[in-house]
A = this chain, B = another copy of it.
Amino acid sequence: MGDLTDARWMTAACGLAERGRGRTARNPSVGCVIVAGGVVVGRGWTQPGGRPHAEAMALEQAGARAAGATAYVTLEPCAHESLRGPACADLLVAAGVARVVAALEDPDPRTAGRGFARLRSVGIALTTDVMASAARDVMAGFLSREARGRPHVTLKLATSLDGCIALAGGASRWITGAPARAHAHLERSRHEAILVGRGTLAADAPSLDVRLPGLEERAPRRIVLTSGEAPAGWTAIASPHDIAALDGVDHLLVEGGAAAAAAFLRADLVDRLLLYRAPIVIGGGLPPIADIGLGALGAAHGRWRLLDARALGSDRLEVYGRGPCSPA
């Protein structure tokens, strides 16, 4: 499990891994920190498109200082060479690192323990399972794709206190304030694709871009849930289950409207709820989620767990993940 110092460096590695979220599919977004004598000598994270890997980038930066150092990586170093680069386990061995600390074993069958074995075979000290939960969170897309063959799905809702996403006539600009909207754009940049329903596309023709300075190029791919044709620049899927076939999409953000949200919930394909709430009352407005086929209230309980709650300007953000609530 490592000690507190290990946990701190791994937290830093997770922070680096976060930078690649939404840009590395189908590769995991890995973070790597190389520490020598208590000082960081190399930092790396999976680059857009998946290469270079985090370890390669960090070792390149560390140079000769990697010899005898400790490498913190959020995922087991890969053991498979490819046309796009050498195996990271081999790179770590060649650089002469004395110790490797890893958060998770790689579920990819091409590595799956063989990276760790390669390190051990040359006498490198190995500590695993350090900050595994945080690493799982930051690599949620990759892990979902590996374990379930589909992207990790976040459903975003922006509502009034009475749960409306718009006035009865459809007006929804704006419910939340500028800080919450900026946060929602940051979330867009962390997903390879955004999906809206047919009705939302027709009513709003949303651009779904990332309007944040320096992140404009990170606008995700646009998906529409429809049995009809997709307009230019959009990809159509007819059913929520079709997300499994979206190549290069490990994180999907479902942005609206009520029918699309309900379709994904009904299919049990929502892993995370992102709930922005403004301190306003609308009254008689449009609801965020259509019928999901819930037969009894009892069946609704125990499915969502609060992960984060914070203020964004005068609005509030809550993030829920799958899993039972913590006991009272």
Contacts and interface: CB of A to CB of B under 8 A. Distances in A.
A179 interface: yes
A283 B303 contact: no
A289 B283 contact: yes
A294 B167 contact: yes
A245 interface: no
A281 interface: yes
A265 B289 contact: no
Contact of A281 (B284, B289, B316): B289
Contact of A162 (B171, B287, B312, B326): B287
Contacts of A327: 314
A280 to B, nearest CB: 4
A322 to B, nearest CB: 11
Interface stretch (A9-17, A53-61, A153-161, A202-210): A153-161
A280 B292 contact: no
A297 B171 contact: yes
Contacts of A86: none
Contacts of A314: 306, 325-328
A88 to B, nearest CB: 40
Given A157-B162, A279-B305, A290 B297 contact: no
Interface string A245-265: 000000000000000011001
Contacts of A294: 167, 282-285
A234 interface: no
A56 to B, nearest CB: 41
B290 A283 contact: yes
A172 B296 CA distance: 9
A164 B161 contact: no
A187 to B, nearest CB: 17
A163 interface: yes
A285 to B, nearest CB: 8
Contact of A161 (B171, B172, B273, B316): B273
A174 B298 CA distance: 8
A207 B327 CA distance: 29
Nearest to A273: B161
Given A177-B328, A294-B167, A306-B279, A160 B300 contact: yes
Contacts of A162: 157, 159, 163, 287-289
A107 interface: no
Give 7 closest A-B pairs by Cβ, nearest first.
A163-B163, A313-B328, A284-B291, A283-B292, A314-B325, A280-B300, A283-B289
